[in-house]
Structure 1
Amino acid sequence: MRHYEIVFMVHPDQSEQVPAMIERYTAMVTEKGGKVHRLENWGRRNLEYPINKIYKATYVLMNVETTFDVISQLENTFRYSDAVIRSLVLRVDEAITTPSPLAKEGEDKVAAAE
């Protein structure tokens, strides 16, 4: 099995469906014997440029270890889903389990608020 990094952006009108989408995509990976090494919901963020007159989106990052068949299924799901406005799937050499800079930034804000 290979390691992949997946980022997808969800339409702002579908933000309440993000937890269910994450659960569905995680199940697709784990049902075929794969593992999810890192899962981060970065929340709603401004886009650098508008996509179809949309200025905000909910970002989700996943690092998974799975087969190419599952990745093909995920890409097809992203492509035909109205809720996902953009997605990116990259193959990486090894599992990445450390928090991303955006996740660390969010943790720092929470710690400062306390």
Structure 2
Amino acid sequence: MPEVSFGAVRSVSSRQNTQREYETVMILRPGVSKGAILELVSKVQGVFEGQGARLLQLENWGVRTLSYPIKRNKSGVYLYWRFLGGSDVVAEFEFGLRINEHVLRYYTVRTDDDVDPHARPSEITEDLLDAVSEPPPDPEPEVEEQEDTEDSYDDDDQDDQDDDDEGGN
């Protein structure tokens, strides 16, 4: 298998050639276009490549209702990011999110220290990048089926009533 290069590995921990693992969840405006999502993803990838970081996972969780309105929006598109890098990557990543007009909120947490970047496979492909810009379909609401009871309305009862009405004139 050929050697894969991930760019310069900037160690911020006690072990050399390791990185920290981070997760970010961001909320975008509900009417954001596919093109705007792809543009955001490409800008973030540029930041990661420039800083020697690596995007491991990217998921579109779809449109969800918010607990309370954020900037007058009652719903938002959720994106989940998992990546390797240092604190400088997080600072530049979050700066880009702060100035992006489509981003309502974001939250980044460090999930692991001293991660070998070669040990964590990346799940990012071109197909995934196309898929992440399309929100998943909303789940269909469950419909309860009514049970037949003797008191339920019957078509036969309606026919009987129509016959009675015609005979009375």
- Tell me whether the two structures share a fold, i.e. TM-score over 0.5: yes
- Deviates most, 14-23 or 72-81: 14-23
Higher normalized helix content (fraction of residues)? 1
Render the CA deviation track for 1:29-79: whole Å, top value 9, x for unaligned.
123221111111112221122112201111111110012111101111112
Gaps of at least 5 residues in structure 1 are 98-105, 110-114
1:15 counterpart (26, 33, 36):
33
How many residue pairs get matched? 99
Instruction: State percent identity of aligned pairs.
Output: 26
Higher normalized strand content (fraction of residues)? 1
Q: Does 1:68 align with 2:91?
A: no
Gaps of at least 5 residues in structure 2 are 1-18, 122-135, 140-169
**Which residue of structure 1 lines up, in the alignment, with residue 164 of structure 2?**
none
Q: Taking structure 2 as the reference length, what is the TM-score of the superposition? A: 0.52
2:43 counterpart (24, 27, 42):
24
Q: Is the 8 A contact 1:41 1:61 kept in 2?
A: yes
1:46 counterpart (29, 42, 65):
65
Q: Taking structure 1 as the reference length, what is the TM-score of the superposition? A: 0.74
Root-mean-square deviation (Å)? 2.2
- Secondary structure of the corresponding residue to residue 12 of structure 1: coil
Which structure would you say has the larger RCO, counting Cα contacts within 8 Å and 6 or more residues apart?
Answer: 1
